[in-house]
């Protein structure tokens, strides 16, 4: 069944069926197309394909059926239930080799020398480094302010006509800060900015930035979309189909950050269970946050479902649930944090997020190692901060592992 043939009513059914096209041999699942190139019947046909007169595959860097299925699935979920001018919203997605490749296509496809990006504190470390270390070499500069104060955005934009893009990551990695997509997009549009949102932490199940008329969404599909930690990947999703099919497609093809068939296959299968996984991730996330919040060894918990979180209301407004991501600080700072992580027996010591297993990492020494200490502390990433991606294991097992790891005393021999 193809999503074009039938508009499905449920998000879960759309996640399972959208994007699938019946292929020649009637395979149930779209096979992994392990072919770099595609055959033309005649030279004429090759010319028609290249000119765009005839649809069809040419070369896998440009796309193939395995990648198209997942691209269309992501578009269907990001636009699920949304309309524009009374018709279902149409989106176009391009699969990338990684989230960073998708972000690079977004930036390099839309910005030129002399342009600036307005963004906020506490972005994923790689995105921050791209803005600090790579884009300035192309004379593209980032202006970083606390966009939770929307007046600041207004003020900065009034005084700086070189800002061409608003780039949001919400909830943000790893402090779980949230910014108001609707209000910031309205402000940005008054100044003709391009608006892009990294929707990795929320996924379209929890939050749909296109509801607020943003121009682009990016994903590290490596995380909750894939859901099983089996492949690195990224997606760039755009609302201007013409732009996606011309300029953005060109940049995607020429920078060479394309995805591949095997990873696309894994992503397609992973995405089919997005809804039920997210429900369980979020239910567990709330219970873990409540447990940590009352624990005597823990000084602070950043979780959007706790009314103590400064962005509680913003999250409630734009997210279905507060999500599976949280971070917290041990009372004993860095040393206590390291000891806690070392004592874990079931929960996994690893960076990344969004897999079925609960993952814990230490941003200061891992994901944000490349960000200067003064900068990261300004963004709330202290030495003792621990980030947690709450998995879908049974909650009793997660809580008992956290309890034994937080208790005083020597390690019980965590793996």
Ligand X SMILES: Cc1ncc(COP(=O)(O)O)c(C=O)c1O
Report the interface residues with ligand X, using CB under 6 A: 98-100, 124, 126-127, 169, 173, 198, 200-201, 220, 222, 232, 234
Taking the least distance from each CB to ligand X, the nearer of 75 and 127 is 127
Task: Please report how close the Cβ of residue 255 comes to ligand X at its closest, in angstroms.
Answer: 14
176: left (phi over 0), alpha (psi -120 to 50) or beta: left
Task: Please report how close the Cβ of residue 33 comes to ligand X at its closest, in angstroms.
Answer: 22
Q: How far apart are CA 403 and CA 99, in angstroms?
A: 34
Task: Please report how close the Cβ of residue 254 comes to ligand X at its closest, in angstroms.
Answer: 19
Taking the least distance from each CB to ligand X, the nearer of 169 and 329 is 169
Task: Please report how close the Cβ of residue 98 comes to ligand X at its closest, in angstroms.
Answer: 3
Task: Please report how close the Cβ of residue 90 comes to ligand X at its closest, in angstroms.
Answer: 25
Task: Please report how close the Cβ of residue 105 comes to ligand X at its closest, in angstroms.
Answer: 12
Alpha carbon dihedral 166, 170, 172, 175, in 10-degree steps, equals 120
Q: Which of 96, 102, 316 is nearest to 206 (CA)?
A: 316
Taking the least distance from each CB to ligand X, the nearer of 33 and 201 is 201
Taking the least distance from each CB to ligand X, the nearer of 14 and 358 is 358
Taking the least distance from each CB to ligand X, the nearer of 79 and 220 is 220
Taking the least distance from each CB to ligand X, the nearer of 63 and 125 is 125
Task: Please report how close the Cβ of residue 311 comes to ligand X at its closest, in angstroms.
Answer: 16
Taking the least distance from each CB to ligand X, the nearer of 128 and 284 is 128
Cβ-proximal residue to ligand X, closest one? 99
Task: Please report how close the Cβ of residue 49 comes to ligand X at its closest, in angstroms.
Answer: 31
């Amino acid at each position: 069944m193809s999503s074009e043939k039938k508009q499905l009513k449920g998000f879960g059914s759309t996640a399972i069926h959208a994007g699938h096209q019946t292929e020649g041999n009637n395979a149930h699942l779209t096979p992994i197309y392990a072919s770099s190139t595609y055959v033309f019947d005649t030279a004429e046909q090759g010319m028609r394909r290249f000119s765009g007169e005839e649809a069809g595959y040419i070369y896998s860097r440009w796309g193939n059926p395995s990648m198209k299925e997942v691209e269309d699935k992501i578009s269907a979920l990001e636009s699920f239930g949304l309309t524009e001018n009374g018709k279902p919203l149409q989106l176009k997605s391009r699969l990338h080799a990684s989230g960073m490749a998708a972000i690079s296509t977004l930036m390099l496809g839309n910005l030129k020398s002399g342009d600036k990006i307005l963004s906020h504190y506490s972005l994923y470390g790689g995105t921050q480094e791209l803005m600090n270390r790579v884009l300035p070499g192309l004379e593209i500069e980032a202006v970083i302010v606390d966009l939770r104060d929307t007046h600041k955005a207004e003020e900065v934009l009034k005084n700086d006509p070189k800002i061409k893009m608003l780039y949001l990551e919400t909830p943000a990695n790893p402090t779980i800060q949230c910014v108001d997509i609707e209000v910031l997009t309205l402000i940005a549009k008054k100044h003709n900015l391009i608006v892009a949102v990294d929707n990795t932490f929320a996924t379209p199940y929890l939050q749909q930035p296109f509801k607020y008329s943003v121009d682009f969404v990016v994903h590290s599909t490596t995380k909750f979309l894939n859901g099983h930690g089996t492949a690195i990947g990224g997606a760039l999703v755009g609302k201007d189909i013409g732009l996606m099919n011309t300029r953005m497609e060109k940049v995607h093809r020429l920078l060479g950050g394309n995805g591949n068939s095997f990873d696309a296959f894994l992503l397609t299968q992973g995405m089919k269970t997005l809804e039920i996984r997210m429900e369980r991730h979020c239910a567990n996330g709330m219970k873990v946050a409540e447990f940590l919040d009352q624990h005597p060894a823990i000084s602070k918990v950043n979780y959007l479902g706790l009314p103590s979180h400064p962005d509680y209301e913003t999250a409630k407004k734009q997210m279905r649930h507060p999500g599976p991501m949280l971070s917290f600080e041990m009372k004993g700072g860095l040393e206590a944090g390291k000891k806690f992580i070392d004592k874990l027996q079931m929960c996994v010591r690893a960076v990344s997020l969004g897999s079925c297993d609960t993952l814990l990492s230490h941003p200061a020494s891992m994901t944000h190692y490349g960000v200067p200490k003064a900068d990261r502390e300004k963004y709330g990433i202290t030495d003792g901060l621990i980030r947690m991606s709450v998995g879908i294991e049974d909650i009793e097992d997660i809580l008992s592992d956290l309890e034994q790891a937080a208790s005083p005393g020597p390690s019980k021999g965590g793996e």
